[in-house]
Structure 1
Amino acid sequence: MARRRKYPPITLGKDALYHAWVVVGAKPNGRPDQRHVKRKTIEEVEERVDELLDQKKAGAVVKAGRGVSLQEWLETYLETVASRRCDPTTVTGYRTYMRNYVYPVAGKVRIDRLTPEHIDRIYLAMQDAGRAQATIVQTHRILSRALEVAYRRGMTPRNAAKVIEDAPKAKRREMQALTEAEALAVLTAAERIRNSARWSVGLAIGLRQGEALGLRWSYVDLDAGTMDVFWQLHRRPFEHGCGSPATCGRKRAGNCPQRKQRLRTGEQPIAGGLILKAPKGSGKATIPIPSELVAELRRHREVQELEKVMAEGAYATHDLVFADVDGSPIDPARDWAEWKSLCKAAGVPDLPLHGGRHTAASLMIAQGVPIEVVQEVLRHSAIQVTRGYVHVASDSAKAATDRMGATLLRRPSTP
């Protein structure tokens, strides 16, 4: 088929290679942006020229110069772009996803030559290896975001992760929650351990684990019956300050003599890698405390004051509502193990720790609390998140309406 006149001429050079020069636009100084193409065959030159002309037509011409590999770009993206907007622990997790699943399959592919087929092979390899759908979805989200940034910066003609058919999608997770009777059983079991009020806070008002463990007395007003959920306790892994494990000879970064811990603006280190940071999303808020929980927290504080006296000045001054005997913060891993132990002791389903928050939501909905109020108490970013608990509450709602029926509709027996 005859080509149009604007198609550049292809010539055979003295180097035995075929050459073509393609104008793809204008440089910032107004001069033509001309790309030099040289290949061993005319067909290879034509293929590259067609690619450049397609990019020109689409207004997505890749910057001049040799393109970086997918692995090189992802490492740059994680170290710069992602680190500005994400928690350092989150970035560490993202890097693990990329190193485990993306680099082995397509890490060496130049980013400007990445195709949807490369992306398909990544997800197919994960599927064949038995990885969970949630893991594949998370990998897709990280990869798609990184490639979108590369596309906007002119490093690649398209975001290959966005044009694949049947992109991985997250399945709707079924919310797991305890019934009212099961929640009471857990609280009864908790009465036999220290910091039992920690579980009352979790089940009654739905505080996240980090929010409960990071709660401080200076943010709790028992007289007014309110608490400011402004902080959460979080473990932040240390990094090698020396550069790499090979330099100091210590595999674990926490054992590195020059170890460092990345802190973002406003974060406060406490001890042993634990920090205080702002709550997730839009979770920073002041919430009311039920009068029964106020009374329980008063009793809890009395016990804590006695522990301070017994410590004789050795009590840590972190002001934590829920702390170890010496006032030091409770390790999230130990808190998680305690939840599992309580579920077993109470004879209730072995739910994830976040199930306590789900329980608070479903019980409030079952008792007729308006969904907008439930959203406010739990600090959900969107009402759609709160609506996800409505179907969970069905069993509890049935029990609640049965009690209402027994109370209001009971008829006196006939003599």
Structure 2
Amino acid sequence: MPAKTKKRGNNEGSIYKRKDGLCCGQITIGRDENGRQKRQYFYGKTRQEVADKIAKALNDLANGIYVEPARMLLKDWLHTWLWEYKKQTLRPSTFKDYLCYIERHINPTIGHYKLKELRPEHLQTLYNVKYQEGLSISTIKQIHTVLHSALDQALKNGLVNRNVSEATTLPKGKPKREIRILSLEEQQRFIAALERERLKTAFLVELASGLRIGELLALRWKDVNFKDGYIEVRRSLQRVRIFDGGNSKKTALAFQEPKTEAGKRIVPLPPVIIEELKQHRKKQLEEKLKAGALYEDNDLVFATELGTPIDPRNFERLFYRIREKAGLDKSVNFHALRHTYATRLLEANEHPKVVQELLGHKDISTTLNIYSHVMPEIKKAAAMKLNSLFEDIKTKGNHS
């Protein structure tokens, strides 16, 4: 005799696979005003994923904290999406950025809307308001990325019928400000201002490599090849937010791998800079001996006098002081040193593809867009190289 099928309780969900490959389950979450059962559906790529969602919902129901999707606010869903779906896959710095976009920009403006009632015009208003407030186009695009991803997950989960972010139009940016680079004379003034500075070598390496500030401060001595004259970029130092399950505002310094494979790269250095690094290492060893047991050896090329990582914010403050000493205006930020490095290479007729690889850009279009101000001169120089090929034609024409 066949075994009897166990009767399911009202709150036990059956899970099945749909034709589109998604698994689906449902539970009873209560009754409506007419006494009819209210059912809630859950979706996932695997049966286990759906089972976990059902278990959480049943637990929330038992504890009286379950929120029906029809009543769920956008801010509630963004919290769930960020912590349950993205926390484990995002870099700490990216997670910090996403949380900032949500808390500072999205929730105060449209977080109070019910998820199911969210319309394209709500998002459009958000983008327009932020643009009028002077928020950069790149930041507005990041806010849009957060909303699009969160609503896409809500769509997969059956919480909404469509992704309303796809029906919005992002504001068009104003003409980009021309990037600031140091003239040759300004570069010499800056270098002269580095004399007697403890971290003089760090700024010289920057001018000779164009590293991002976090990459520069994350360099280890094992990343420096004195014999062949290059440094290897493998990681970056970032200030990230610490999360313990709550909304902690604490931050800490952390070493992270580059966002893309292009970020991992080898950057050759001029012999004079390699020599500077050797001298810098000798001085660092003297500091280590002086500090004794207090010294924390992290193998960092550029560290505090006790060997600990240098906070990028403190390093920028040092840069501002040196900038003032050199008599440079405030339009020169630290990133201008990176721009100066790239511009000098292009001015020396280095191929843009090589410059892209040295800077760690994922796509050459990024390099070409940023340094478009140099390209006309490069094109002109290329045309002049062809001039000699036509000299004979000119000569023959004069004799005909």
**TM more than 0.5:** yes
Counterpart CA distance in 1 for 2:164 and 2:138 is 20
User: SS in structure 2 opposite 1:176?
Assistant: coil
Conservation of the 8 A alpha-carbon contact between 2:93 and 2:238: no
- Rate the CA distance shift 1:395–1:107 in 2: closer, same or farther, 3 A: same
**Residues 158-217 of structure 1, C-alpha deviation per residue, up to 9 Å, x if partnerless?**
2111112x3234556443322232222212211220121101111111111111111111
Match of 2:206 among 186, 202, 205: 202
Counterpart CA distance in 1 for 2:209 and 2:113 is 50
Counterpart CA distance in 2 for 1:341 and 1:101 is 33
- In the alignment, structure 1 residue 82 sits paired with structure 2 residue 62: no
Counterpart CA distance in 1 for 2:269 and 2:235 is 17
Displacement after TM superposition at 1:374 (Å): 0.8
Match of 2:278 among 284, 298, 305: 298
Match of 2:76 among 67, 72, 88: 72
What amino acid is the match of 1:191? E
**Residues 15-50 of structure 1, C-alpha deviation per residue, up to 9 Å, x if partnerless?**
xxxxxxxxxxxx74899x9xxxx999xxxxxxxxxx
Counterpart CA distance in 2 for 1:191 and 1:130 is 39
Conservation of the 8 A alpha-carbon contact between 2:70 and 2:115: no
What amino acid is the match of 1:276? F
**Residues 384-413 of structure 1, C-alpha deviation per residue, up to 9 Å, x if partnerless?**
111124333369979x99xxxxxxxxxxxx
Where structure 1 has 5 or more consecutive residues not aligned to the other structure, the ranges are 1-26, 41-63, 246-251, 255-272, 402-415
Identity, % of aligned positions: 31
Conservation of the 8 A alpha-carbon contact between 2:70 and 2:116: no
Equivalent residue, structure 2, for 1:387: 368
Structural mapping, 1:366-385, within 5 Å: 366-385=347-366
- Rate the CA distance shift 1:335–1:244 in 2: closer, same or farther, 3 A: closer
Match of 1:168 among 171, 175, 181: 171
- In the alignment, structure 1 residue 217 sits paired with structure 2 residue 197: no
Equivalent residue, structure 2, for 1:331: 311
- Rate the CA distance shift 1:302–1:145 in 2: closer, same or farther, 3 A: same
- Rate the CA distance shift 1:204–1:396 in 2: closer, same or farther, 3 A: farther
TM-score of the two chains, using structure 2 as the length reference: 0.72
Conservation of the 8 A alpha-carbon contact between 1:363 and 1:396: no
- In the alignment, structure 1 residue 274 sits paired with structure 2 residue 260: no
**Residues 220-262 of structure 1, C-alpha deviation per residue, up to 9 Å, x if partnerless?**
1111212221122222233457x467xxxxxx647xxxxxxxx
Conservation of the 8 A alpha-carbon contact between 1:361 and 1:389: no
Q: Give the RMSD, CA atoms, in angstroms.
A: 3.6
Structural mapping, 1:226-265, within 5 Å: 226-240=230-244, 243=246, 253=250
User: SS in structure 1 opposite 2:362?
Assistant: coil
TM-score of the two chains, using structure 1 as the length reference: 0.69
Conservation of the 8 A alpha-carbon contact between 1:221 and 1:227: yes
What amino acid is the match of 2:195? E
Structure with the bigger percentage of helix = 2
What amino acid is the match of 1:192? R
Conservation of the 8 A alpha-carbon contact between 2:69 and 2:116: no
Match of 2:111 among 93, 102, 107: 107
Structural mapping, 1:20-169, within 5 Å: 28=17, 66=70, 68-127=72-131, 129-164=133-168, 166-169=169-172
Counterpart CA distance in 2 for 1:184 and 1:395 is 25
Equivalent residue, structure 1, for 2:38: none
Equivalent residue, structure 1, for 2:267: 287
